[in-house]
Structure 1
Amino acid sequence: MTTPAVHRIPEEVHRRRWAILGVLMLSLLIVVLDNSILNVAIKTISTPAPTGLGATQSELEWAINSYTLVFAGLLFSAGLLGDRLGRKKVLLGGLVVFGIGSALAAESGSPAQLIAFRALMAVGAAFVMPATLAVLMNVFEREEQPKAIGVWAGGVGIAIAIGPITGGLLLDHFWWGSVFLVNVPIVLIAIALMIWLVPDSRDPKPGRIDPIGVVLSVVGLVLLVYGIIKGGELADFTDPTVLVTIGAGLAVLAAFVVFEARSDHPSIDVTYFKNKVFSAAMAVITLVFFALMGVTFFSVFYTQSVRGYSPLETGLLLLPLAIAQMIFAPRARLVVDRIGVRATTTVAMLVLAASLLAFALFDRDTPLWVLEIVFFAMGAGMAHVMTPTSVVIMQALPREKAGSASALSNTFRQVGGALGIAVLGSVLSTAYRNGIEDKLGGLPPGLRDTAGESIEATLGVAAKLGDRGKALVGPADDAFLHAMHITAVWGAAIALVGAVVVALFLPGRPKTGPETAGDTGDAGEEEALARVES
């Protein structure tokens, strides 16, 4: 005889769960909004003062990667602190730090200051992101979690839509720093709503913080990414500085893995990865963001530098990607219910690979409707990968470990994105320099080196030379398009690897029986939920 289902969530929390989800999505919005706004602002920031900061391509990569690396390095410890201190307290603290970092970034006087303040913003974001998903898992019953996660993932699509358009409008009317200052009022609204609506929760048996692991992971990733970016900047990956830096990064990361395996309070519990489904889902998230972040980085220069569109027009061009996310992310669970996780994500990864490969066919006159279809396909593919894999990851662990699962998911997402920008950015930089250098022979040696760094650097030098520089514009466009084609093929190949991984390891049709990945944690679940404070 079966007993009727009993709500484990306190009734007063259960009643306002959708309002709580709205507040969590607003908190998530500012983290994602910041990156999507920055995507359309990077060309402006690379423009010489007073319009921008005159940032080089490598400095632009660091402005993005200083955020993603600090974010990724702190996520797991931030998740554990949320489990220990209370997710609401950690969310509020993270929002305050993020708001302060945004205000300082808006007033940056140099690329170095921008890089430093972006890192401060990442400290705050690292405490926001895992806590939002952990709170979600604690205010929704298990049967509603896939739907709630789908809506949560749809919030990412909203941010992707709002970000580029907002960034374009701000850049059309204000200075470049306005794209960071806009975060401050959103932070204030989110804090007020959170204090009013969101309950606190914590893990009754939280893990211990692992400062050595945090330091090893951040140092290893920074060294690795620095070496990769430096190799692209020099167009020479055999340079001793590049090889030593990459080697040191890999050595420190290897030491991190060994330390984590032996630690009794690791930053990353490697035992989670014994579950093949969990490991495959994490690998796919990493590969998706590796490919997408790298391609997004060069697509802005394609639309603005080669095609000549403004930041606002570029933001509008990205709308189909965001609309597809908003349409499909909340509904992806319905496809999974019908055909299973494996088939859904495999097809989605193939769609992503095809849309990334399409960039290898683009030229300066490609019709806009083709570009829009490709962006829509990218958004649809993304939605049908992220929602199912997020559910797999979050339900693979007991509910009281929600902070850890969320942090792991976001850590691998950010590491994948940072490596994607570093690797594919370096491929783009190397291919561009090799394509343009024989056209720069008539320039003085100092200008020749500067002009070879990126298409923006070439166009900047051409503008300074006046009529003499006009001859460089066509070769710069050609060199960039060639470099973009090579980079797009690399991105598509990475997405294909992801398709193979999901086809081999993710589950098929969902089971109808009681044995699901996360059911082992019911006892801990009840204990954790007893700590939810209304």
Structure 2
Amino acid sequence: MQPHENTGHPRRWAILGVLVISLLVVVLDNTILNVALRTLADPVHGLGASQGELEWAINSYTLVFAGLLFTFGVLGDRAGRKRFLLVGLVLFGLSSLLSAYAQSPAQLIGARALMGVGGAAIMPVTLSIISNVFDPRERGRAIGVWAGAVGLAVAIGPILGGALLEHYWWGSVFLINVPVVAVGVVLVALLVPESRDPDPGRVDVLGVLLSVVGLVALTYGIIDGGEHGFGRPLVWVSILGGLAVLTWFVLLELRSDHPSLDVRLFRVPRFAAPVALVGLVFFAAMGVMFFSSFYLQLVRGYTPLQTGLLFLPFAAAQLVFAPRSAAMVRRYGGRAVAAVGLALTSVALAAFAFIDAGTPIWVVLVVFLLQGIGMANIMPPATESIMSALPREKAGVGSAVSNTVRQVAGALGVAVLGSVLSAVYRDDVAPALRGLPAGAHEAASESISGAYAAAGQLGPGGPTLVTAANDAFVSAMHWAAALSAAVAVLGFVVVLRWMPGRALDRVAGAPAASEPELAGTA
């Protein structure tokens, strides 16, 4: 074979388009929920969900998703990536129907967990198929398009969700998945070639169970502590128990010859640094996405559609900059591009610590634009570094680790920052709740959504409660934003200290890490 000959699939760009459609439905659903949170908290037009239940509606999906990603990546490599993609799409569509017609927060949380199973079957095989059908010299550009689709879906979700909520009931934000899934199934069946790993690993059942149990216990403790206070023994039993189970999981993976998460990969700097970067960025960003929707809809009074449209600068930045980041990496190196992107992201997240109820809305738009530009220039170099650190036939391993870290970090970001938000809000709003009826006091102390609902029953005293709730929420938002910015700055340190630099200039054709370097890889 001549060195200049392209080894990619003849229909590789059409296949990439199909994979983007499959990916959109997974990412879109996770962000479309953001603008529906206020509606779901409404006891009349929604399900009357508490803030803790809203966090679980997000995290039941992401935790199951993350817990199964690695194993499903291995199963996809073994059973066939196209087959797994089709099964995942069908399951995702069916569970979307269940979510749309849920009658209680508990039913919604359960249906969302089932959606996580479908999403876990879809996400890792999209990157695996990209690595299989594209020549290494084109892989960076293809992953740039893939990452751009992820970022675009993150921003389009709130816009689409807002438009649906403006005209239909809350279940429409899940029902919209069904036609997208139907189109995806047809196109995957027609265009995507079947591929599999010639030497797949075994499935680590105990490892999967330990990871899911540990993450759920840890997240439950964080969310419940934020909602009801950290002074109860149950909270610390859950948190410490979750950490103990996760420690057992790591020790098990170190000894296993078929780990569900090969922690030995983190000895390779070209792999470990970008994975850590992805985790830190999504921890910070997903928590901010959670509270910014409440800020825009309640404190600022925008409708769900207007709130969604305010995310357009973020979407535009992803659309414009993510596909071009591969060229920037070739020119300046992965470390430089990721560092600039992370600096912009850190500034944008820190800006939320200074935004209040009277901040001009154009300032908020500029902040979203900066965050979009920053994240568009973080994900492609990080993802390409992760994927190029592994042999081509082990693509499922790299994509699964990358997406597992992303989802776990996002879930923990929502849990931790949501808990900070709840705790600070509850303390700050407490003086304004003295003398309120028991029902109104409990609802208003739980969340800003509860305060608005209680204010509607208080007559002339309602506006005073709304003002106090807004002030308490903005103060809580400042603390959460400061913490998210600190996490992003930590990511900046990781980039400067450990992220590969000019090594990523060869992104179009960089050789994968050698087998000795990755000894023990599943």
Instruction: Please confirm whether the aligned pair reaches a TM-score higher than 0.5, indicating the same fold.
Output: yes
**2:38 matched to 1:39?**
no
**2:296 matched to 1:295?**
no
Residue 447 of structure 1: how far off its partner (Å): 3.1
**2:190 matched to 1:191?**
no
State how far apart, in whole Å, the 1-side matches of 2:93 and 2:3 are. 46
Residue 213 of structure 1: how far off its partner (Å): 0.5
Q: Deviations over 1:325-365 (max 9, x none)?
A: 11111101122112211111112111111100101111112
State how far apart, in whole Å, the 1-side matches of 2:485 and 2:497 are. 19
Aligned runs of 1:142-181 on 2, under 5 Å? 142-181=136-175
Q: Is contact 2:440–2:451 with CA below 8 Å preserved after alignment?
A: no
Q: Structure 2 residue aligned with 1:406, among 374, 399, 402?
A: 399
Q: Deviations over 1:493-524 (max 9, x none)?
A: 00000000010001122367899451537xxx
Q: Counterpart of 1:4?
A: 3
**2:267 matched to 1:268?**
no
Q: Is contact 2:99–2:111 with CA below 8 Å preserved after alignment?
A: yes
Residue 214 of structure 1: how far off its partner (Å): 0.5
Aligned runs of 1:75-94 on 2, under 5 Å? 75-94=69-88
Residue 158 of structure 1: how far off its partner (Å): 2.8
- Matched to 1:229, the amino acid is I
Q: Is contact 1:336–1:510 with CA below 8 Å preserved after alignment?
A: no
After superposition, the CA RMSD in angstroms is 1.7
Q: Is contact 1:285–1:409 with CA below 8 Å preserved after alignment?
A: yes
State how far apart, in whole Å, the 2-side matches of 1:144 and 1:3 are. 16
Q: Structure 2 residue aligned with 1:373, among 366, 377, 386?
A: 366
Aligned runs of 1:310-349 on 2, under 5 Å? 310-349=303-342
- Matched to 1:448, the amino acid is H
Q: Aligned in 2, Cα 1:322/1:185: closer, same or farther, shift over 3 Å? A: same
The ranges of structure 1 where at least 4 consecutive aligned residues each deviate by more than 4 angstroms after the TM superposition are: 511-517
Q: Aligned in 2, Cα 1:404/1:471: closer, same or farther, shift over 3 Å? A: same
Q: Counterpart of 1:20?
A: 15
Aligned runs of 1:94-109 on 2, under 5 Å? 94-109=88-103
State how far apart, in whole Å, the 1-side matches of 2:437 and 2:365 are. 41
State how far apart, in whole Å, the 2-side matches of 1:6 and 1:220 are. 48
Q: Counterpart of 1:257?
A: 250
Q: Aligned in 2, Cα 1:376/1:513: closer, same or farther, shift over 3 Å? A: closer
Residue 94 of structure 1: how far off its partner (Å): 0.2
Q: Deviations over 1:106-162 (max 9, x none)?
A: 000000000000000110000000011100111100000000000111112332343
- Matched to 2:14, the amino acid is A
**2:198 matched to 1:204?**
yes
Aligned runs of 1:455-466 on 2, under 5 Å? 455-466=448-459
Q: Counterpart of 1:350?
A: 343
Aligned runs of 1:382-421 on 2, under 5 Å? 382-421=375-414
User: Where does the alignment leave 5 or more consecutive residues of structure 2 unmatched?
Assistant: 516-522
State how far apart, in whole Å, the 2-side matches of 1:125 and 1:214 are. 16
Greater alpha carbon shift after TM alignment, 152-161 vs 396-405: 152-161
Q: Deviations over 1:428-469 (max 9, x none)?
A: 000000000111011133432221011001111111222232
1:329 aligned counterpart, secondary structure = helix
Q: Is contact 1:352–1:378 with CA below 8 Å preserved after alignment?
A: yes
Q: Deviations over 1:143-188 (max 9, x none)?
A: 0000000011111233234322211111011000000000000000
Q: Counterpart of 2:416?
A: 423
Q: Is contact 2:218–2:243 with CA below 8 Å preserved after alignment?
A: yes
Q: Counterpart of 1:182?
A: 176
Q: Is contact 1:338–1:509 with CA below 8 Å preserved after alignment?
A: no
Q: Counterpart of 1:432?
A: 425
- Matched to 2:79, the amino acid is L
The two structures have a TM-score, normalised by structure 1, of 0.94
Q: Deviations over 1:66-90 (max 9, x none)?
A: 0000000000011001000000000
State how far apart, in whole Å, the 2-side matches of 1:517 and 1:440 are. 63
- Matched to 1:19, the amino acid is A
State how far apart, in whole Å, the 2-side matches of 1:316 and 1:370 are. 15
Q: Deviations over 1:6-50 (max 9, x none)?
A: 4444xxxx221110000000000000111121111111111113x
Q: Deviations over 1:279-312 (max 9, x none)?
A: 1111110000000000110000100000000000
1:243 aligned counterpart, secondary structure = helix
Q: Is contact 1:306–1:477 with CA below 8 Å preserved after alignment?
A: yes
Aligned runs of 1:230-245 on 2, under 5 Å? 230-234=224-228, 236-245=229-238
**2:453 matched to 1:454?**
no
Greater alpha carbon shift after TM alignment, 402-411 vs 158-167: 158-167
User: Where does the alignment leave 5 or more consecutive residues of structure 1 unmatched?
Assistant: 522-534
The two structures have a TM-score, normalised by structure 2, of 0.96
Q: State the number of aligned residues.
A: 516
State how far apart, in whole Å, the 2-side matches of 1:394 and 1:115 are. 33
Greater alpha carbon shift after TM alignment, 507-516 vs 162-171: 507-516
**2:463 matched to 1:470?**
yes
Q: Counterpart of 2:68?
A: 74
- Matched to 1:453, the amino acid is E
